[in-house]
Each structure stands twice: as C-alpha cells, then as structure tokens.
Structure 1
Amino acid sequence: MSKIFISGAAGFIGSQLSYYLFKKGYHVTLLDNFSYGVEDNLIFPDCDFRGKIIRGDIRDKNLIDELFKKNKFDYVYHIAAITPLPDCQINPIEAVDVNITGTLTILEASRTYGVKKLVFASTSAVYENNEKFPLFEENPVRPNLIYPSTKYAAEQFCYDYVKNYDMNITCLRFANVYGPHIDCLRKQPPVVGYIIRELFYDRSPILHSTGNQSRDFVYVEDLISLCEMVLNGKGFDIVNVSSGISVSINELMLMISKLMNREEINAIYKGEAFFWKKYPELYKKPYPIKNEVLVHEVKKYTNLSNKHAFERYGWKPQTSMEEGLKRTISFVCEMLEKHC
C-alpha cells in the first residue's frame, strides 16, 4: 500500500483529496495548522479524519523531517498555502514564509527521504497579466500580486529540484475550483461560495464592475481525479487544471439563483475600487493599493487550455457546471443550516 503525505489537508481541496485517496486504499498522513482549514472539512459520511490529522506547520523543519523519516512516504501532495489574495497583500512576509519557505521545507524532506513523486498545488493566478487566450502552460508569466508571485517562485524551486536532483515533480495550476466543502465563511470567500451564502440568507450578493467578467471554473472532483493521474509522470511538468470554458459572474449568479429558487434576489453592483473594502489596511496612505490593480483583478478574464492534461494524462473534466453547482449548493446550505 503506497504511503501519501498531504499538507493543507483540512482545507477545501486537501480534505477532498485526502478522502478520495483514502477510499482508493492509499495510506494517507494528513497535516494542517488550521489557520485556514476547518475540522468540518474532515467529516465524511463513512470517515472522520479529525482524530487522525496532525496539527502542525509546514515550516516546522523538525516536525516535517520526523514525519518523512518515520513514514518513508511514496508520494507527497503539497497543498498548504496562504491563498486569499488580500491576506497575502496585507502580510507579504508571512505569505512568502508559508508559500515559499514552507514549500522548500517539503521539497528538501522529499529529496532527503526519497519521495517518488511530489505534486505541488499552484494557481492559474500566475497568468494574471496574460492577455492572449486560451492560456497555455508554456506561456511566459509575470504576476505582480503577492499570492501568485509566491506560487510562481515556488514553481521555480520545484523546477530547481528536478533539474539538480532528478526528482519527479508536477505543478498543477488550478483554475477557480468549486464544489462541496468550498470556503464560504471567510471575509472574502471564493465567488461561488459567496453567492450561495448570500442567497441562503436572502441577501443580495455584492458584485463588482458589470458582472460580465468571466472566469474558468473547475469542479473539485474533476481536479482530484487528475491529481491521481499525474502520480506516474516523470521529471518536471506544469499542468493547467481547468474546464476550458469561461463563465461570466452574471451567468454564475443566474445559475445559482435558479438552482436555489432565489431568482427574485438581485445582485448589487459596486465599483472595482471597493473590491477589498473589508481590508482597510490596503487603502491606508501614504501608499494605498493602486486603483488600477483592483480594476484589473476584478475585470480579468480567465480561460485555460486543458489540452496538455488530456494529451499527457488522458484527463478531461467530467462534471457539468449545473451538476457541480447542484452538489455544491446542497453541501453549503446544509453546512450553513448548522451554523444558524
């Protein structure tokens, strides 16, 4: 039985991946420091990971070294990170420490103890300044926000370890991921979780700009299936994980409101300058965040090619947006009912 280590295992994607691999018969070791992960994510109908997960930080070299030495992991999924864009902008030192130094801690332990394959969770946000679509893995990227910059730097270190030590590492650039267990409680949740939450409470979601900006959404179970497929890949690889289809925020709002029978609730549209208004630290003088940065972040269009994932691994997304949203709504509403 192969042994797998998963960092960030109490988060949205990490918890779903942990459960999937556990059900497939892998021996999984889970780690999370619960700065963003939550215990509710670890509860499944036929499995409860709350008593099994290790509470620890990926930057704790002694802990990571001890875990890797003791368990002799075959495969590693490194998902732990600070991902909310405003959180990274407010505290860039912490973001760099977790997203880059933490990744190097995992890379070095993987090298030292002979991990066969490491899969690194990157992000499509590295393409934030690209303007030709669809986006391909070989496109040059030059991100400027802290979060994608840390992820791109971590990708470079993954490449270094392959080049210098002949390791096997795949970097998965996730598009906008949605599905059961999506975070909907934090101050600035992903847009799918946010809209569902607001409609559940009969509130009008606040959307920015015109709502015509489009994103590439991928369902979490489709993403997880690719996570397993890439385990046999050799050398260094970067893979887009996407539906290949862009959906506007207005279309998303309409689909969710119909599925929730909340069509009478209309969105409220506000300007891009207040996109991160819940984070006043970013607006403080003498150097407030530039208005054009917020406008760009709100209005950006994403459409990733998943051609490489299909040609190398035979992967294609299988879940329609409607079906994926139905499952997501069902889970989120059930969870919110518990918090009422």
Structure 2
Amino acid sequence: MTQQQLNKLSDKSVLITGGAGFIGSNLIETLVTQNINVVCLDNFSTGKRENIEPFLNFPNFKLIEGDIRNLDDCKKACENVTYVLHEAALGSVPRSINDPITTNDVNVSGFLNMLVAARDAGVKRFVYAASSSTYGDHEALPKVEETIGNPLSPYAITKYVNELYADIFHTTYNFDSIGLRYFNVFGKRQDPNGAYAAVIPKFVQQFIKHESPVINGDGSYSRDFTYIDNVVQMNLLALTTDNPDALNQVYNTAYGDRTTLKELATLLKTYLSEFDATIKDIEIKHRENRIGDIPHSLASIEKAKRLLHYNPQFNISAGLKEAVAWYWEHLE
C-alpha cells in the first residue's frame, strides 16, 4: 500500500464483509495496522474468529456479527461507511453442486442485500469478489474480461449474477462498483480443513502429516495461482483509484501465469522439504477429474495494468515459499 493510497483512506471507514475469512482477514490486517477505520461483518459460517482475534482490541476496528442474508444486518454494517469490500460468499464449486440453494441464498440474495444497503447508506464505492469461474466453458487462453462462456456450476452462475446486478445498479442508480475476478487465491490463513478446502493448503497439510495428496486427473489441469498479497494490492487499487474509466468494470485478479497441478505438487514438496527432508519422498496419488472443473485457467491482467496500474509482486514460487513458511509454523 502506497502513502498516496493511505492518504485517500485516512479519514474514511471501510466495511469488509466476510472479514473473518481468508481473503477478508488479510484485507483487515493491511488496513487496521495502517490506522484505517475498518468494520467487519461476518456470521462465522466459514470464517474463523482466530483470523481476526489479533485486531479485536484495535480502536479502529469494529466487529458486527451478522449475516448478509439479513438486510437489517447489512444496513447496520453500512452505517457511516465510505467504502465496501464485499468478500462474503459461499465458495467452492463442489459445495454449490451439492447445495445450490444455500449457495444462491448467500451469493445472490446476500449480494443484492449488500448492494441495496450500501446504496441506501450512500457508500461511495463497492468493490466485490467476483470469480474466474465466470469464464465457464470458454476455452481460449488467456481469459479476457469481455469474453466469457457458459457457466459450469451453480457457484459460477451466482458469481456471474453478481456482475449483472452490479452493472444494473450503476446504470439504474448511478452506484459505483468494481468486480475482481479472483483466480485461485492462496496464502496465509487459508483453511486446509473441511470437505471444500482449497488445493494448496490441503496439499501442504497432507505433506506435513506425511500423507499422500490426491490430484484430480492426471495432473495436467492448470491454474493461475495467485498469492494473497497480489489480491490485497488489487483491492486497494480498486478502492482508491481516481480514474473514472476504471469504475464499473470487472478485472481479472491474478498473476498472469499458469501452473499444472503436477508442477504445483512438486513445488510444494521442494519447499516443504527444506523444513522436513523426508517430504520429498512422499508419493502423489491420482483419481478421476471432478465435475464442474475447467481444464485450464490463465488470466490476462492487461486491463488491470492499464486502468488500475496493477503490478503483482508475487509469482507462484515466491508466493508458495511465503505460504509454506506460514503453514509450517501454524500447522505443526
């Protein structure tokens, strides 16, 4: 975060929904430690209290325990707030396939509640977590914001609907927003446990326990893995940009490179072996591909560079080294 960005936020208040989650808590840490006023709204369905525990005694931090599916909770959270970083959502393609109704309630109805509450409270800008799943079955690489395919899961549908609602709120109510299509974000505080755990923390935990991680498919599927610090940078740029052309757009939020799952597992073994040499000998297993998974994902980040001056600092290797060191300290 630059001093210029800090100055723009110094006398403002930022609401972070889903602040006890992985991405939300990293955003909170960045802002509260720079003396910026932060309000966190979370119902702790997937977020963890321990993620925000260090900030509870900060005078510039306020926690509201509430649910975005409740409009009154959203209105309460938006009181006297200048900006919103909307991270609250039910993630995971498999979860949405198993329970599409709850995913829709949180990701669509909850999102609409937040838009209405933020609009009515006079919020200046609404930055929200969109998703690379919106590209669906469109096969061309790299993914460019203006070209998407058909969604492949209920989760993907909900995140695309978010973009449509945000656009309508701009054209109908002149309400400004920016959507960030996250690509496979990873880093500290990402939960390795549970049925819907993301691949990197899950694999790290299995390696640490000397268990064999299981790759879906032959390992050739690839992703644009994006370290959390790049995502924080993107959120802050979206929050503080003075470029009117940058508003009411969606942006790929990624590094702009892709890594196969097989390569990922090898890198994790290499970096974890620096802490425990026996990890390098752990076997990697395979099973069938998952329903709803796209084969390859790679973002073009040219639009974000051009309009927001986005400049990601962490490639996959640098990000994994940071993440592995954090997990080694916290999972032992």
Check if 1:157 corresponds to 2:157. Answer: no
The amino acid that maps onto 2:322 is R
Q: What pairs up with 1:323-338 in 2 under 5 angstroms?
A: 323-337=318-332
- In structure 2, what is the equivalent of residue 286 of structure 1? none
Partner of 1:38: 48
Instruction: Determine the C-alpha separation between the residues in 2 that align with 1:331 and 1:306.
Output: 27
String of CA shifts for 1:130-179, please: whole Å, max 9, x gaps: 11111101113321300010010111000000011111100000000011
Q: Could you tell me which of 296, 299, 307 is aligned with 1:301?
A: 296
Query: Aligned equivalents of 1:165 and 1:13: distance in 2?
Result: 29
Partner of 1:171: 179
Q: Using the alignment, how far apart are the partners of 1:5 and 1:244 within structure 2?
A: 29
SS of 1:203's partner is coil
1:17-96 superposed matches below 5 A: 17-44=27-54, 47-48=55-56, 52-68=62-78, 71-96=79-104
TM-score of the two chains, using structure 2 as the length reference:
0.90
The whole-number CA distance in structure 2 between the counterparts of 1:48 and 1:333 is 25
Give the Cα separation in 1 of the matches to 2:254 and 2:194: 24
Q: After superposition, what is the alpha-carbon deviation per residue over 1:103-147, rounded to whole angstroms, capped at 9, x for unaligned?
A: 111101111111100001010011121111111011133213000
- Contact 1:42/1:49 (CA < 8 Å) preserved in 2? no
The CA deviation at 1:87 is: 1.6
**Alignment coverage as a number of residue pairs:** 311
- 2:19 maps to 1:9: yes
Distance 2:77 2:136 in 1: 36
Q: Is the 8 A contact 2:100 2:154 kept in 1?
A: yes
- CA separation of 1:300/1:49 partners in 2, compared to 1, >3 Å: closer, same or farther? farther
Residue segments in structure 2 that go unaligned for 5+ positions in a row: 1-10, 274-278
TM-score if structure 1 supplies the norm length? 0.88
What percentage of residue pairs aligned between the two structures are identical? 29
1:98 maps to 2:115? no
**Partner residue, 1:249:** 261
Structure 1, unaligned runs of 5 or more: 276-293
Is the Cα contact below 8 Å between 1:128 and 1:300 reproduced in 2? no
Name the CA shift for 1:179/1:167 in 2 (closer, same or farther; >3 Å): same
The answer to whether the 8 Å contact 2:69/2:109 transfers is yes
- The runs of at least 4 consecutive aligned structure 1 residues that moved more than 3 Å come to 47-52
Let me know the Cα RMSD of the aligned residues.
Answer: 1.6
TM superposition shift of 1:88 = 1.3
Say which SS state the counterpart of residue 254 (structure 1) adopts: helix
1:269 matched to 2:264? The reply is no
